[in-house]
Chain A
Amino acid sequence: MTGETRRRWPYVVLTGLVSAAVAVWAFPHLGDNAHVLSGPYVGNDVGPALPRLTLGMFVDSWSAEVMLLAAAIAFLVQLYSTKYMAAERFGSYALLIVLFLVAMVAVVATDNLFVLLIGWEVMGVCSYLLIGHHWERDDAQSGAAKALLVTRAADIGLLLAILLLGQTYGTYSIRGVLIATGHEHPRNATLIGLLLIIAVVGKSAQVPLQTWLPDAMPGPTPITALIHAATMVAAGVFLLARLLPVFDASSVAMTTLAIVAAVTMLSAALFALTQTDLKRALAWSTVSQLAVMFAAVAVANGRAAIDHLISHGSFKALLFLGCGVAMHVVGSSSLADMGGLRTSIRATFWTMTVGFAALAGVVPTVGFFTKDEVLEAVHGATNGHGAIDPTMAWAVLIAVALTAVITAAYSTRLWALTFLGESKEKHPTPFVMYGPLAVLALSTFALSFGKPFRLDVAGVSTGLVVVGVALGWLLRQRTWTSVPGRVLAGEFGFDRIFSRAVPGVALADARAVVWTDDTVVDAYPRGGSHTALAAGWVMNRLQSAKAQLYATAIVVGAVLLVLLGVLGGVGR
């Protein structure tokens, strides 16, 4: 071990301590039932509450699970980064990971909506700084700026939603809001729901704000794992699941969420199927899987959403960390350069195979059980008892099923393109890099224990997976020559709206402001300076140094004064 890498261990120890503290805190709450809430109900006659920051905590089983996930993945990412990252700026990088974890815990564990907002924004800043870790590169800079701007714009929705919640229920406590919704019919449900959806569409990269997440790929790969698995994008799902009783009575909000989720999961899965870059394909896969979680929220099943969030967190962190190892060996993340890694990085091959199996939803992995849970939840909504229309529920069910097929297809394709083919030379992987992979691979099995299992759903979903795997096997080509393939690989050109139109509008705005500043606002100071200059010029002319001119002025003045005196005297 060199001296430079030895200096990295204090950061790992620090992250370990923070993670352990979070775990110790969260563990006893794993059994808490989120739906049994007790507390004083203040009634709906109180006025709007004043914004107040309190340190009240509200940890139920959902929070505890997400906290454990975030703590575990942050620690594994930190461990992995000690070998993965170059020497420069490692200290700030490692501390930002800890800050990221703390912010996520703040979002998940707080009872105060404003503390939640602060944690939410701190995560945005952390993701900006970490995505832009290699700020010498243009793509890292623009990706970081895009992530910050897009999520920041959507965060306005969260702020407005929080203010509206305070106006409606007279409290900024999450527990208080949930208690109030238990006692009375939820009010302003549609508006609050839509504002919250705006917020999470930005944070969790759903249509139409999905492009920032794939464009954040220039960030370091461990950070991508952290953002995609445990923090940032997961916060959106958690927020909607926790505040579900506030808006689950509004069919408008729930239908909007269902449409967003259905469109996002299908389009993102198709983009993932056609990518030519492993890391970007995995990013689209995250977008698609998040949409699956939102589909569960849209049918008012928060439990399924959180379960899928946890399972997705474990296998997606595994996939990204494995992708990092592969990039280390190959030198790029392009699928064209991959292939034949089966023997050269054996540990990564086996763990990533487990990860891809979990992503596809193959039987004993946790991805299989949680995906079935979502399918079952969506199917349950087709009976018409939920807030969304049965037709809509059927549409979402078909979207989820199709997404399951496409997910299995792109998992197979990525797996085949990365690992199969003629083998290359062996690369030893350091223990701190494959250790986290092994832990996560084991957890994808371990998390399956005790999951509900229904034979009919399992049969259907396994059938979908088989179809998908066969499809993926047929589609295992590195680049696309057919028109649909190229259109999908180009992601419908959707990104142009953000990369061209939005900056164009912003530039036009800026020009209008500059023009107004130049011609309207500056007219006053410029007019003032011109007046002063003109006065100065006149005074300068008067100071002619011609004695006779001065004398003339004195005489004229004296005559005028006399005239004034005489005429004034006459007037009086």
Chain B
Amino acid sequence: MMLLLPLELSAVLFGIGLYGVLARRNAVLALIGVELMLNAANIQLVAFDAWFADVRHTGQVLTLYVIALAAAELGLGLAIVLALFRARGTIDLDDVEPVRDGRHP
């Protein structure tokens, strides 16, 4: 019964994150959506780790990895957003022209 609450929290967070990724036009907010989805996964990892009472706590260890990975990914993503803003003057995803072979802005 105690498992259900963190799973629900995780599902809500994932849903909000998915909405952010798919629907927000602002690149920073889309990145925040990605973070929310990663953290929803983290919550599940921790919850199932506790539920199975794993003595080696593999779930919690994996969560630490994911947090580190998320930090790195966010750093890279924000750097791209910054470069995009400098190059195009906007970070609206709809306004970003496709980058194709042989055509340069």
Contact = CB atoms under 8 A, between A and B. Distances in A.
13 contacts: A545-B99, A545-B100, A546-B93, A546-B94, A547-B93, A548-B21, A548-B22, A548-B30, A548-B93, A551-B21, A551-B22, A552-B22, A555-B18
A555 B22 contact: yes
A545 B95 CA distance: 11
Contacts of A546: 93-94
A301 to B, nearest CB: 90
A545 B93 CA distance: 11
A136 B30 CA distance: 81
Nearest to B98: A545
B40 to A, nearest CB: 14
Consensus secondary structure, chain B interface: helix
Interface in B9-39: 18, 21-23, 30
A117 to B, nearest CB: 66
Chain B, interface size: which category? 10 to 19
A547 B33 CA distance: 14
Contacts of A547: 93
**Most chain B CB neighbours (cut-off 10 Å) among A546, A548, A552, A555:** A548
Contacts of A548: 21-23, 30, 93
Interface residues of A, number: 7
Interface in A83-124: none
A203 to B, nearest CB: 70
A555 B99 CA distance: 23
A555 B100 CA distance: 25
Contacts of A545: 98-100
Interface in A468-502: none
A546 B23 CA distance: 12
Interface string B54-65: 000000000000
Interface in A555-569: 555
Nearest to A552: B22
Contacts of B23: 548
Nearest to A549: B22
Contacts of A552: 22
Given A548-B22, A548-B93, 14 more contacts: A545-B98, A545-B99, A545-B100, A546-B93, A546-B94, A547-B93, A548-B21, A548-B23, A548-B30, A551-B21, A551-B22, A552-B22, A555-B18, A555-B22
A555 B14 CA distance: 12
Interface in B24-83: 30
A533 to B, nearest CB: 21
Contacts of B100: 545
Contacts of B30: 548
A547 B84 CA distance: 15
A490 B74 CA distance: 102
A387 to B, nearest CB: 88
Nearest to B30: A548
Nearest to B93: A548
Interface string A286-313: 0000000000000000000000000000
B95 to A, nearest CB: 11
Contacts of B21: 548, 551
Interface in B81-99: 93-94, 98-99
Nearest to A544: B98
B47 to A, nearest CB: 20
A552 B20 CA distance: 12
Interface string A14-31: 000000000000000000
Contacts of B22: 548, 551-552, 555
A25 to B, nearest CB: 79
Nearest to B18: A555
Interface string A533-555: 00000000000011110011001
Contacts of B94: 546
Q: What 10 A-B pairs are tightest by C-beta distance, nearest first?
A: A545-B98, A552-B22, A548-B22, A551-B22, A548-B93, A551-B21, A555-B18, A547-B93, A555-B22, A548-B21
Contacts of A555: 18, 22
Contacts of B98: 545
Contacts of B99: 545
A547 B34 CA distance: 14
B96 to A, nearest CB: 8
A399 B60 CA distance: 124
**Most chain A CB neighbours (cut-off 10 Å) among B18, B22, B23, B100:** B22
